[in-house]
Amino acid sequence: MVHSFDIETEAQGLVEFVDASPTPFHACEQVAARLRQAGFTPVAETDPFPTRPGAYFLVRGGSLVAWDNSGADAAGAGLAAGFRVVGAHTDSPNLRIKPRPDHTRAGWQLLGVEPYGGLLLNSWLDRDLGLAGRVAVRTAAGPQSRLFHDPRSLLRVPQLAIHLDRSVNDRLELNRQLHLEPVWGLGPAPADFRAYVGEQVGAEPADVLGWDVMTYPTEPSARLGRHGELVAAPRLDNLATTYAAVRALLDVAGRAGRQVPVVVLFDHEEVGSMSERGAMSTVLPSVLERLVLAGGGSRDDYWRALAATVIASGDMAHATHPNYVDRHEPEHQIAMNGGPVLKINTNLRYATDSRGEAAFRLACEQAGVPMQTFVVRSDLPCGSTVGPMTAALTGATTVDFGAPMLSMHSARELCGAQDPAGYAGALAAFLAPAG
């Protein structure tokens, strides 16, 4: 089975997906819209699990699980072949709005923000920022969640002029409490953020019961490079993997296969994954278990299915930086547009072992895309991701992988324009392995 994805289509598709997904909630909404359009049926977690094989998805806040068991015999013996799971995360480092954000200083209206995740603080300076998020609104039927995405440039964290700090180019010090507050207006009185949020979701200020609102850079994503070889965009970590995983699932949906293809998109990866919907939660195991039980299988069948399952956990990978080549392992250089990246760390910051590597290598071979291998320098600490957690929670063979990028955790990141197509191809082959 050959999975071919057009380079230009996927690069453009990635740009549109990223720009439409300023928050994890919007990423899930965007994915849900694409799945619905392809015939996937939404499942509410509070409803009985569907017993009829088919293509479904479930959303838990900023996390989403989608699967298609229409091609497999869901009951008992069929699931002995297990699941093929591709994982990614929907959240990215950003500045999030505090509960009591309004205050003034020196004639400015400021908004209190709290950094979320390990952001490169300097990259948020002097950027035009917008607001988007989820709001809990009082209704007669109880609290209701509403999303908003305000496309306007509303905020800016202004950098201090060089004349007032001559040492700034040698050493930039940013205090997370003092120096990251965005301005969003002028005047002696504080603005009313609650009223603003109410306007955005069509509610009276008194009916705004809570919010998960965050800032995002409003500059649209763009192609970059002499020949457009690159994509400059925010949130590529990890919306680039999220996008490719969904494209791959849509490609294999409806095709008969021995394993059931599953895509899981987690929120909260950037802050440790310990939440009701993060990778440490029940969001993935509960779906896999309910899938087996609803198909007529037993709890024993569930554990049998897990034992045969392979999980590919995707998070972006560090391409070799031309200005800092010494930060990279000399024998494991990673090239932009050089293909998907397998990540290995013997201290288990990545879950990959030789069995997982085999599954991922075969998928790349099947898709006809080159594969690269990342190892961090032995004298540098290694980043981590949700692969080891998912492996521990499920007991399934797990492989960590990514796509090459620069400027990870910057407000504006950089990836290859050719990589999204190969990435989606490799993941489609992983979800539906030949033979």
Burial class (CB in 10 A: 0-12, 13-18, 19+), 226: exposed
- Shortest gap between Cβ of 383 and Zn ion (angstroms)? 8
Q: Is the dihedral of CA 281, 287, 293, 294 positive or negative?
A: positive
- Shortest gap between Cβ of 255 and Zn ion (angstroms)? 29
- Shortest gap between Cβ of 21 and Zn ion (angstroms)? 14
- Shortest gap between Cβ of 314 and Zn ion (angstroms)? 9
Block residue for tokens 């598709």 = 13
- Shortest gap between Cβ of 408 and Zn ion (angstroms)? 7
Q: Report the side by side order of strands in the sheet with 341-343.
A: 41-42, 55-60, 63-68, 260-266, 83-89, 310-314, 397-402, 341-343, 372-374
- Of 14-22, 180-188, 231-239, 247-255, the window that binds Zn ion (rule: CB under 5 A) is 231-239
Query: Please, which residue, 121 or 197, has the CB nearer to Zn ion?
Result: 121
The answer to whether residue 238 forms part of the interface with Zn ion (CB under 5 A) is yes
Provide the token pair at 189: 């009185």
Query: Please, which residue, 30 or 238, has the CB nearer to Zn ion?
Result: 238
Please, which of residues 99-128 interact with Zn ion by CB under 5 A? none
Among 237, 289, 301, 357, contact with Zn ion (rule: CB under 5 A):
237
The answer to whether residue 267 forms part of the interface with Zn ion (CB under 5 A) is no
Please, which of residues 285-344 interact with Zn ion by CB under 5 A? 315
- Shortest gap between Cβ of 329 and Zn ion (angstroms)? 20
Query: Please, which residue, 87 or 297, has the CB nearer to Zn ion?
Result: 87
Q: What is the DSSP string of 351-410?
A: ---HHHHHHHHHHHHHHT---EEE---TTSPPP--SHHHHHHHH--EEEEEE-EEESTTS
Query: Please, which residue, 68 or 315, has the CB nearer to Zn ion?
Result: 315
Residues 6+ apart with CB under 8 A from 7: 417, 418, 420, 421
Please, which of residues 119-178 interact with Zn ion by CB under 5 A? none
Residues lying near Zn ion in the complex (CB under 5 A) are found at 237-238, 315
